[in-house]
Chains A and B, each alone.
Chain A
Amino acid sequence: MGTINEVQEEIVEEFSLFDDWMQRYEYMIELGKSLPLIDKQFKTDDNIIKGCQSKVWVHADLEEDKLVFTADSDAIITKGIIAILIRVFSHQHPDAILEADTSFIDKIGLKEHLSPTRANGLVSMIKQLKMYAIAFKTQLN
């Protein structure tokens, strides 16, 4: 498993193969299908990320000193977005997650999802993943 930056670069490279938004969206939808799905018992209202028009559930577990995320969404574009974020953040140390810069989203042509007013709540998703990192960091110390 590479560092957060390495994984981000890998994703940027994959997306650079496509010339138009439609192919990028199709790829994102494809990535959503490989999302590590959240266990049914964690798919509760408590684990829904607020600020999204569609529902996104996220759960985190600690494996040694790394965080492992699972998630799901009822919308497939959102599922693709959370799948990309989880691919970047999963199997990483909480410190690395907290320090991570997420401007790669811009580079893969999903800039419109970065606006805080956007109803899909990409910003809320990143915030929530970082919140898990803070919570588990205190457990590690």
Chain B
Amino acid sequence: MNFDFSDDQKFLKSEARKFLEANCPTTSARKVLEEEGKAFDEGLWKAVAGQGWLGAAIPEEHGGLGLGHLELCVIAEELGRAVAPIPFASTVYFLAEAIMIAGTDEQKADLLPKIAAGEVIGAVATSEGPGVVTAGNLQATVTDGKLSGTKVPVTDGDIANVALVLAKENGKAGLYIVDMADPSVTKEAVKTLDPSRDAAKLVFKSTPVRRLGAAGEGFELVERIFDRAAVLLSFEQTGGADRCLEMAKEYALERYAFGRVIASYQAIKHKLADMYVKNELARSNAYYGAWALNTDAPELPVAASAARIAASEAFWFASKENIQTHGGIGFTWEMDCHLFYRRSRQLSLVAGAPRVWKERLVSHLERRNAAAAA
């Protein structure tokens, strides 16, 4: 049994933590959160590119480091812990993964080196309004290689150079690569729960596109991309959840009430124990997702769903109970608690809400159980 990261991967993780402690204190997220018009921390983005992290899982022939996805997982955990305000997920977990699994040789040669070098910021645009986007309600349309429609919200849509857009062509959904510099694209920033991450409303009017993957397989491809992204996001969420538990613990050990530290009350001890339990369940599920992602296992859809559900629950619980443990001071703007509370919402929704993943998971389990019984 070898169900853990290697010593090299753990070393990379500790180096990543040191790097982010030096380059991404929570003031970094706070600055993006507070400054009107500031979409991300550009200095941090350049520094992260300099570390090679953007291309960690991109093959060397395309300008990446050619490491595996396990290396990307440990980096993701540290980015989540640091509430990093950069378009890393959009660019690396979504765009780069999409190009790597579905891109033509030409698309790979074009985009992957730019991603690895930090020259391209990505975005993925599926949502068009409240609720789940389906084949029945998808509006964006491609006709004769031109895209028209509206996507909202698109994380990092404001700053992306390249977007992946879900749209229908001849009545069937496909996924399309859009050069965001095209003048036919209108971008309008939207206010979100987590202003430390950028989001926009995008309007396309006869925007030229290149198709990614086969025609008519847009939803299947989105599922495959989201499975991969979900595993990586689950590490970010686990990292954030662990940091919340640490913050709650540190505060509970120094805050006195009724003559003793609040960490000595069972109401607080049990709350923190519950956080620990959820965080460990999230971590173990994330590890299994990492294994499935790294080996391209057929179990990936189930493993990714479980990782996403467990991590979303853990980060939500830890981020809200961290505020509760802090009491009144935790409700202030100046304390960092809300940065994690906000980010937990952003990460839970960006690849589809847990409810959707639960439905997907059970559908897979139904089929698996039926197949086993047959």
Tell whether A and B belong to one assembly.
no
Interface residues of B (CB under 8 A from A): none
